[in-house]
Amino acid sequence: MKLIFSVLLTPVAVLLASGQALAALQTKTVEYKHGNTVLEGYLAYDDAIKGKRPGVLVVHEWNGLQSYAKKRTEQLAKLGYVAFAADIYGKGIRPKNAQESGTQATIYRKDRQLLRERANAGLKVLQANPLTDIKRIAAIGYCFGGGTVLELARSGANIAGVVSFHGNLDTPNPEDAKNITAKVLVLHGADDPFVPEEQIKGFETEMRQANVDWQFISYGRTVHSFTNPEAKGEIKGSEYNPIADQRSWEAMRQFFAEIFRK
């Protein structure tokens, strides 16, 4: 009798297992526009989760929306968020080397208004997604993207928080910090040669004068691009640090737990 009972249970177990397998990470390339410029972002979410959930906008490094930013977008989806990686440069503009990356990044660093508009265009896509709880949205960015999400905050975007991973901190318009309503978290390599001490001091002064709710975490023995395993030191002062990567990701998760608390 025990044997028959076991056999009868087996198809049920199979059905349950197959039902669980149907729930999976969903990803999608999303075309959208800023003016006449076509942009191509990347959406990720877990369809095992029902209903609305917090949204996270992801902004890429200086080499454009490529595999690294997409991987981070998928990681966020696995944590239960609906995540959208914005495209700042435009569809098909994916730099292949440091020179091309520098050329593209310079366009937007010289025109912060355009940079803010491109970031806000991506934010609108995330806000319009039916899975997004529009009262609980954050933006994160890496390197070029870190500076971008800070500019998004300075634009007065209605979001709960921004997280900069090894991003630039400078801005030509520090007085715009008065527009910031988001909480701000900066995750920085203490030995990053691309973000000099005067830039850090300027940022801190900017945040204090605007009475922003901000945090600054500096990781020792850590340089630029510390979250990206592909940064292997070919560019001096830019190298992956697995310990700082793990610590910074956990700091972001704790930050989200705070700002998304109902």
Res 3 pLDDT > 80: no
Banded pLDDT at 15 (limits 50, 70, 90)? very low
**What pLDDT, in 10s, does the model give residues 18-30?**
344 456 999 999 9
- Is 210's pLDDT higher than 70? yes
| Closest C-alpha to 56, from 93, 28, 20, 82 | 82
In this prediction, residues 140-165 reach a mean pLDDT of: 99
The candidate with the shortest Cα–Cα distance to 178, out of 194, 160, 154, 195, is 154
pTM recorded for the entire structure: 0.92
- Report the chain's C-alpha Rg in angstroms: 20
Q: Do the beta carbons of residue 63 and residue 38 sit within 8 Å? A: no
Q: How many CB atoms lie within 10 A of CB 95?
A: 18
Q: What is the mean pLDDT of residues 85-96?
A: 98
Reported in sequence order, the residue ranges of the chain that DSSP labels E, i.e. its strands, are 25-34, 37-46, 53-59, 82-86, 132-142, 161-165, 183-189, 214-219
Asked whether 65 and 89 are in contact (CB, 8 A), the reply is: yes
CA distances for 203 relative to 178, 192, 256, angstroms:
13, 15, 22
Give the list of residues 6+ apart from residue 59 with CB closer than 8 angstroms, or none.
Answer: 69, 85, 86, 88, 119, 122, 139, 140, 141, 142, 144, 145, 146, 148, 149, 152
Is residue 164 scored above 50 in pLDDT? yes
What stretch of H or E contains 123? helix 112-128
pLDDT of 5 higher than 70: no
Q: Looking at the predicted structure, is the pLDDT value of residue 84 above 90?
A: yes
Residue 149 is predicted with a pLDDT of 99
Domains of the chain: 24-259 (3.40.50.1820)
Q: What is the mean pLDDT of residues 162-191?
A: 98
